[in-house]
């Protein structure tokens, strides 16, 4: 698992897919998530594109795509249960899966120790 400075996590799944969610730190900072707007499947996105909108009791926040690729799956469970982002941010609370040309693109992001240093 790798981490971005925007408090997203990335996990490689298969040969060409990366799963994206937010960290426990980010979920805690947001407070109780009450709504999640997910991207369209088959959407082509570039690094830095807004792909997810999260609304919580405290604020609204945008999740940006950490990499270029095609959205191939979204976590539909979040539509009915947005609180999964708070309950299990590193597991069941994932947002989308993105197909990339080369999964080694995640090597540019922080490992867990580096991320812990960032948030401490």
Q: pTM of the predicted model, to two decimals? A: 0.94
Give me the domain span that covers residue 99. Answer: 2-119
Tally of CB atoms within 10 A around 116: 12
Closest alpha carbon to 67 in 15, 16, 14: 16
For 57-72, the pLDDT digits (tens) are 988 999 999 999 999 9
CATH of the domain at 30: 2.40.50.100
pLDDT above 90 coverage of the chain, percent: 97
Q: How many domains does the chain have?
A: 1
Alpha carbon distance 117, 61 (integer Å) = 23
Query: Per-residue confidence at 40, pLDDT binned at 50, 70, 90?
Result: very high
Provide the pLDDT confidence category of residue 38 given band limits of 50, 70 and 90. very high
Residues in contact with 120: Cβ distance below 8 Å, sequence separation at least 6, in sequence order: none
> Two tokens at 88?
């299990």
Instruction: Tell me the per-residue pLDDT of 51-108, one tens digit each, with 9 for 90 and over.
Output: 999 999 988 999 999 999 999 999 999 999 999 999 999 999 999 999 999 999 999 9
Q: What is the predicted pLDDT for the residue at 47?
A: 96
20-41 average pLDDT score: 96
What backbone torsions phi and psi does residue 68 show, to the nearest 5 degrees? Answer: -80, 145
């Amino acid at each position: 698992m790798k981490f971005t400075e925007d408090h997203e996590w990335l996990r490689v799944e298969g040969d060409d897919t990366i799963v994206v969610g937010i960290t426990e730190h980010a979920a805690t900072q947001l407070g109780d998530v009450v709504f999640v707007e997910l991207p369209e499947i088959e959407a082509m996105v570039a690094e830095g594109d807004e792909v997810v909108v999260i609304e919580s009791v405290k604020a609204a926040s945008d999740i940006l795509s950490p990499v270029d690729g095609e959205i191939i799956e979204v976590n539909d469970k979040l539509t009915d249960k947005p609180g999964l982002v708070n309950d299990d941010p590193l597991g069941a609370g994932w947002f989308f899966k993105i197909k990339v040309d080369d999964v080694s693109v995640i090597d540019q992001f922080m490992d867990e120790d580096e991320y812990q240093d960032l948030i401490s």
